[in-house]
Amino acid sequence: MKYWLVKSEPDAYSWSRFVSEKKATWDGVRNYQARNNLSAMEVGDPVLFYHSVKNQAVVGLAKVVRDAYPDPTVPDDPRWVVVELVPVMAFDNPVTLARLKSEPLLQNMALLRQSRLSVMPVRPDEFELILALAHAPVA
DNA sequence: GCCAACGTTGGC
DNA sequence: GCCAACGTTGGC
Protein backbone atom coordinates (compact mmCIF):
# COMPACT_ATOMS: atom_id res chain seq x y z
CA MET A 1 0.00 0.00 0.00
CA LYS A 2 1.28 3.41 -0.96
CA TYR A 3 0.21 6.80 0.33
CA TRP A 4 -0.33 9.92 -1.72
CA LEU A 5 -1.29 13.56 -1.64
CA VAL A 6 -3.15 15.49 -4.30
CA LYS A 7 -3.58 19.23 -4.44
CA SER A 8 -6.49 21.26 -5.66
CA GLU A 9 -7.33 24.92 -5.54
CA PRO A 10 -10.69 25.09 -3.79
CA ASP A 11 -11.89 27.63 -6.37
CA ALA A 12 -11.21 25.07 -9.08
CA TYR A 13 -12.29 21.88 -7.33
CA SER A 14 -12.98 21.85 -3.60
CA TRP A 15 -13.18 19.09 -1.04
CA SER A 16 -16.85 19.97 -0.43
CA ARG A 17 -17.64 19.53 -4.10
CA PHE A 18 -15.74 16.24 -4.08
CA VAL A 19 -17.86 15.08 -1.15
CA SER A 20 -21.11 16.16 -2.78
CA GLU A 21 -20.20 14.45 -6.05
CA LYS A 22 -19.01 11.33 -4.17
CA LYS A 23 -16.36 10.52 -6.77
CA ALA A 24 -13.79 12.39 -8.83
CA THR A 25 -11.97 11.59 -12.01
CA TRP A 26 -8.61 13.19 -11.27
CA ASP A 27 -8.01 14.70 -14.69
CA GLY A 28 -6.08 17.68 -15.92
CA VAL A 29 -2.65 16.62 -14.69
CA ARG A 30 -0.15 17.87 -17.28
CA ASN A 31 3.14 17.40 -15.54
CA TYR A 32 5.21 14.28 -16.11
CA GLN A 33 6.28 13.79 -12.54
CA ALA A 34 2.71 14.14 -11.31
CA ARG A 35 1.54 11.84 -14.12
CA ASN A 36 4.07 9.21 -13.08
CA ASN A 37 2.72 9.36 -9.55
CA LEU A 38 -0.86 8.94 -10.78
CA SER A 39 0.26 5.92 -12.77
CA ALA A 40 1.76 4.34 -9.67
CA MET A 41 -1.47 4.58 -7.67
CA GLU A 42 -3.38 1.40 -6.96
CA VAL A 43 -6.94 0.76 -5.94
CA GLY A 44 -7.23 1.13 -2.19
CA ASP A 45 -4.29 3.51 -1.73
CA PRO A 46 -5.07 6.36 0.70
CA VAL A 47 -4.81 9.89 -0.70
CA LEU A 48 -4.57 13.08 1.31
CA PHE A 49 -6.56 15.96 -0.20
CA TYR A 50 -4.84 19.34 0.07
CA HIS A 51 -6.32 22.76 -0.63
CA SER A 52 -3.75 25.01 -2.24
CA VAL A 53 -3.73 28.82 -2.54
CA LYS A 54 -6.81 29.36 -0.35
CA ASN A 55 -7.43 27.55 2.93
CA GLN A 56 -4.05 25.92 2.58
CA ALA A 57 -4.50 22.69 4.46
CA VAL A 58 -4.88 18.96 4.20
CA VAL A 59 -8.65 18.84 4.54
CA GLY A 60 -9.58 15.21 4.16
CA LEU A 61 -8.77 11.68 3.19
CA ALA A 62 -9.68 10.00 -0.07
CA LYS A 63 -8.84 6.66 -1.62
CA VAL A 64 -8.15 5.32 -5.08
CA VAL A 65 -11.03 3.33 -6.57
CA ARG A 66 -9.72 2.93 -10.11
CA ASP A 67 -6.17 2.54 -11.38
CA ALA A 68 -4.74 4.96 -13.91
CA TYR A 69 -6.19 4.95 -17.42
CA PRO A 70 -5.84 7.36 -20.35
CA ASP A 71 -7.23 10.84 -19.69
CA PRO A 72 -10.57 10.89 -21.54
CA THR A 73 -10.49 14.68 -21.79
CA VAL A 74 -7.55 14.47 -24.23
CA PRO A 75 -8.36 11.39 -26.35
CA ASP A 76 -5.73 12.30 -28.95
CA ASP A 77 -2.93 12.65 -26.44
CA PRO A 78 -1.90 9.31 -24.92
CA ARG A 79 0.62 10.86 -22.55
CA TRP A 80 -1.82 11.73 -19.78
CA VAL A 81 -3.71 9.56 -17.34
CA VAL A 82 -6.39 9.89 -14.68
CA VAL A 83 -7.39 7.90 -11.62
CA GLU A 84 -10.69 7.84 -9.81
CA LEU A 85 -10.95 8.91 -6.18
CA VAL A 86 -13.70 8.81 -3.58
CA PRO A 87 -13.85 10.69 -0.28
CA VAL A 88 -13.23 8.66 2.87
CA MET A 89 -13.46 11.24 5.64
CA ALA A 90 -13.25 14.95 6.26
CA PHE A 91 -10.73 15.92 8.92
CA ASP A 92 -12.04 17.29 12.21
CA ASN A 93 -9.05 19.59 12.22
CA PRO A 94 -7.64 20.34 8.77
CA VAL A 95 -3.87 20.25 8.95
CA THR A 96 -2.76 23.64 7.77
CA LEU A 97 0.35 24.34 5.75
CA ALA A 98 1.69 26.34 8.68
CA ARG A 99 1.16 23.33 10.95
CA LEU A 100 2.96 21.05 8.50
CA LYS A 101 5.85 23.48 8.29
CA SER A 102 6.09 23.67 12.07
CA GLU A 103 6.41 19.92 12.44
CA PRO A 104 10.07 18.82 12.44
CA LEU A 105 9.24 15.31 11.25
CA LEU A 106 7.52 16.63 8.14
CA GLN A 107 10.25 18.88 6.80
CA ASN A 108 11.17 16.45 4.06
CA MET A 109 7.66 16.18 2.67
CA ALA A 110 7.44 16.64 -1.07
CA LEU A 111 4.67 19.14 -0.40
CA LEU A 112 7.10 21.46 1.37
CA ARG A 113 10.06 20.84 -0.88
CA GLN A 114 8.41 20.95 -4.29
CA SER A 115 5.65 23.45 -4.01
CA ARG A 116 4.46 23.11 -7.59
CA LEU A 117 4.07 19.35 -7.76
CA SER A 118 0.36 18.49 -7.68
CA VAL A 119 0.41 14.72 -7.16
CA MET A 120 3.03 13.26 -4.85
CA PRO A 121 3.88 10.29 -2.67
CA VAL A 122 3.68 10.55 1.13
CA ARG A 123 5.84 8.41 3.36
CA PRO A 124 3.98 6.08 5.75
CA ASP A 125 5.34 7.88 8.83
CA GLU A 126 4.35 11.25 7.37
CA PHE A 127 0.90 9.94 6.58
CA GLU A 128 0.36 8.59 10.09
CA LEU A 129 1.50 11.82 11.68
CA ILE A 130 -0.79 13.93 9.52
CA LEU A 131 -3.73 11.69 10.39
CA ALA A 132 -2.90 12.07 14.08
CA LEU A 133 -2.73 15.84 13.73
CA ALA A 134 -6.04 15.84 11.90
CA HIS A 135 -7.75 14.17 14.84
CA ALA A 136 -6.00 16.09 17.58
CA PRO A 137 -7.37 19.36 18.93
CA VAL A 138 -5.80 22.43 17.39
CA ALA A 139 -2.80 23.32 19.51
C1' DG B 1 -0.67 41.72 -5.98
C1' DC B 2 3.96 40.19 -6.10
C1' DC B 3 7.38 37.13 -7.05
C1' DA B 4 10.18 32.70 -6.75
C1' DA B 5 10.32 28.28 -8.66
C1' DC B 6 10.20 25.76 -12.46
C1' DG B 7 8.33 23.53 -16.66
C1' DT B 8 7.76 24.43 -21.63
C1' DT B 9 8.60 26.52 -26.03
C1' DG B 10 11.09 28.04 -29.81
C1' DG B 11 15.04 30.44 -32.00
C1' DC B 12 19.57 29.63 -33.09
C1' DG C 1 21.55 20.90 -27.62
C1' DC C 2 21.58 25.36 -25.38
C1' DC C 3 19.29 28.93 -23.37
C1' DA C 4 16.27 33.09 -23.25
C1' DA C 5 11.54 34.10 -23.06
C1' DC C 6 7.36 33.01 -21.40
C1' DG C 7 3.49 30.89 -18.80
C1' DT C 8 1.80 28.69 -14.64
C1' DT C 9 1.65 27.43 -9.87
C1' DG C 10 1.27 28.55 -5.37
C1' DG C 11 3.20 30.75 -1.09
C1' DC C 12 3.43 35.05 1.05
Q: What is the pLDDT of residues A58-80, one digit of tens each?
A: 999 999 999 999 999 888 888 99
Res. A138: pLDDT tops 80: no
The CA-atom distances, in angstroms, between A96 and each of A17, A52, A115 are 19, 10, 14
Protein residues bordering strand C (Cβ below 7 A):
A 7, 9, 52-53, 56, 97-98, 101, 111, 115-118
Per-residue pLDDT at A40 exceeds 80: yes
Please compute the mean of the pLDDT values over residues A23-28 and round it to a whole number: 96
A92-123 confidence digits (pLDDT tens): 999 999 999 999 999 999 999 998 999 999 99
Which chain A residues in 110-139 sit with Cβ < 7 A of strand B?
Answer: 114-116
- Domains along chain A? 3-134 (3.10.590.10)
Q: Which of A82, A100, A83 is nearest to A91 (CA)?
A: A100
